[in-house]
Homo-oligomer: A and B are copies of this chain.
Amino acid sequence: MDTQPGQPASHVLRRGTMAQPKGTVILAYSGGLDTSCILVWLKEQGYDVVAYLANIGQKEDFEAARKKALALGAKKVYVEDVCREFVEEFIWPAVQANAVYEDRYLLGTALARPCIARGLVGVAQKEGARHVAHGATGKGNDQVRFELTCYALCPSIKVVAPWRLPEFYQRFPGRRELMDYAQKHGIPVPVTPQTPWSMDENLMHISYEAGILENPKNPAPPGLYTKTCDPATSPDTPDVLEIEFEKGVPVKVTNVGDGTVRRSALELFMYLNDIAGKHGVGRIDIVENRFVGMKSRGIYETPAGTILYHAHLDIEAFTMDREVRKIKQGLSLKFSELVYNGFWHSPEGEFLRHCIARSQQAVAGTVRLSVFKGHVSILGRASPCSLYNEELVSMNVQGDYEPADATGFININSLRLKEYHRLQSKVTAKQAE
């Protein structure tokens, strides 16, 4: 019984190891088997463990997790709801950027990491702790994202990453050893059989990786998806939405069918998750390049993010000058890459967010779209800030546009081509001699 906090487990440990006291460590705790074992192991190593559990939208019984951490010997447990910050401070800049890594991945996990790590560092500073710890593996991106955030915000912090410490990973080469350790130390073991892949979830996104998915030929097994319905059985009628943007971020969602309206960032994002999930929108299966240099295969769901990606692309194209758009597109490519690599908190991250936000000043208006059977279709758009000029483009209106100007435009543009042809002919002629 862990009525006090964490007595029995620590009791066991104390006897076993009696390590040197090492001060307080703040552990990014998920409530799952891995970080529970790490919690106990850190105590074994002589740390006072404070568990930090960010509620970033994952499905989790946070109170149960709190109790579990205390029962395992955590000196203190912080459960912090960061959902709103996650949407407003991390997802919104990504929406403004149309951030997408390697043409397909909307960065759902990559955006969550700096948000969680920022909370972790905040607790470390509050608790005066010199160490933080996390349960990310040694081959992945998340270790990088966590730690770069920690170092960027608090350069003096020390990170304990057990999955990179030989004394840890050699002791737990597989799941079996973890289970054994758990049983030995009174760590509750999941009763449901483990899925043959690993998952990571937040408000924006869930990823499925590893296990049977490591063979890139294997399709996603039926029943894998948790955030979206199967398009095969999803509703036979679309939901039609109107999404209103200001400065490149959504400020209002209206369901044209039933009149539902959502306005606050968090509420409208969750509503879009519902609608997209209902219609099976946001699934991808990709092979991507990790920052540490290997290719990995992931299956992802990003329901609301997928709708917003399409809607924002559309309103941006409608309101942004062509050349600004091109420059901003280049900045967004850089931004997406650095977010993926863990450099959210960095000089270049700050700089790019500033520039991208600047580009969004007039990105405002309403996009109408339909969500249906796994697909988002744009239906139309309107904006008070549009650079679209119906009169100018109309085939039936001459207006100020002088067709003869196009002749000059084309002729001048052809000058280079003609010169090149002239040279090529000369070269060809010479070669023929």
- Given the contacts A294-B415, A419-B389, A232 and B372 also touching, CB distance less than 8 Å: yes
Cβ of A427 to closest chain B Cβ, rounded Å: 7
CA A303 to CA B377, docked complex, whole Å: 15
Chain B neighbourhood of A343, CB < 8 A: 323, 417
Chain A 345-388, CB-CB to B under 8 Å as 1, else 0, gives 11110011011001100100000100011110111111011111
In the complex, which residues 392-423 of chain A have their Cβ closer than 8 Å to any Cβ of chain B?
392-396, 398, 400-423
The answer to whether B419 touches A387 (Cβ under 8 A) is yes
Provide the residues of chain B in CB contact with A331, threshold 8 Å.
Answer: 327
Chain B nearest CB, measured from A134 CB (Å): 12
Is A59 interfacial (CB 8 A cutoff)? no
Q: A174 in the interface, Cβ–Cβ < 8 Å? A: yes
Chain B residue with the shortest CB-CB distance to A136: B406
Q: List B contacts of A390 (CB < 8 A).
A: 214-216
A261 within 8 A of B: no
At the interface, yes or no: A14 with Cβ under 8 Å from chain B?
no
Contact A402-B410, Cβ < 8 Å, known A348-B321, A375-B373, A392-B419 = no
Which B residue's beta carbon lies closest to that of A237?
Answer: B232
Q: By the criterion CB–CB under 8 Å, are A410 and B143 in contact?
A: yes
A84 at the interface (CB under 8 A from B): no
State the CA gap A163–B327 with chains docked (Å).
33
- The minimal Cβ–Cβ distance linking A51 to chain B, given in whole angstroms, is 23
Residues of A135-153 contacting chain B, CB below 8 A: 137-139, 143-144, 147-148, 151-153
Given that A216-B318, A287-B318 are known contacts, is A151 also in contact with B420, CB under 8 Å in the complex?
no
A149 to chain B, nearest CB (A): 9
Residues of B within 8 A of A398 (CB): 169, 173
Which residues in B have their C-beta under 8 angstroms from that of A218?
A: 380
Given A217-B382, A372-B231, A139-B418 contact (CB < 8 Å): no
Complex contact A103–B372 (CB within 8 A): no
Q: Does A263 contact B (CB under 8 A)?
A: no
Shortest Cβ distance from residue A304 to the other chain B in the assembled complex, whole angstroms: 17
B285 touches A377 (CB 8 A): yes
A11 within 8 A of B: no
Are A405 and B402 in contact (CB-based, < 8 A)?
A: no
Complex: A328 Cα to B333 Cα, angstroms: 13
Residues on A facing B (Cβ under 8 Å)? 98, 102-104, 137-139, 143-144, 147-148, 151-155, 161, 163-166, 169, 173-174, 198, 210-211, 214-220, 231-232, 236-238, 283-289, 292-297, 313-314, 317-318, 321-331, 333-334, 337-338, 342-343, 345-348, 351-352, 354-355, 358-359, 362, 368, 372-375, 377-382, 384-390, 392-396, 398, 400-423, 426-427, 430
Closest 3 CB pairs of A and B: A408-B408, A138-B403, A293-B415
Given A294-B419, A321-B420, list of 12 further CB < 8 A pairs? Answer: A137-B395, A155-B417, A210-B395, A219-B368, A294-B415, A295-B318, A296-B388, A297-B393, A327-B351, A372-B373, A402-B408, A409-B411
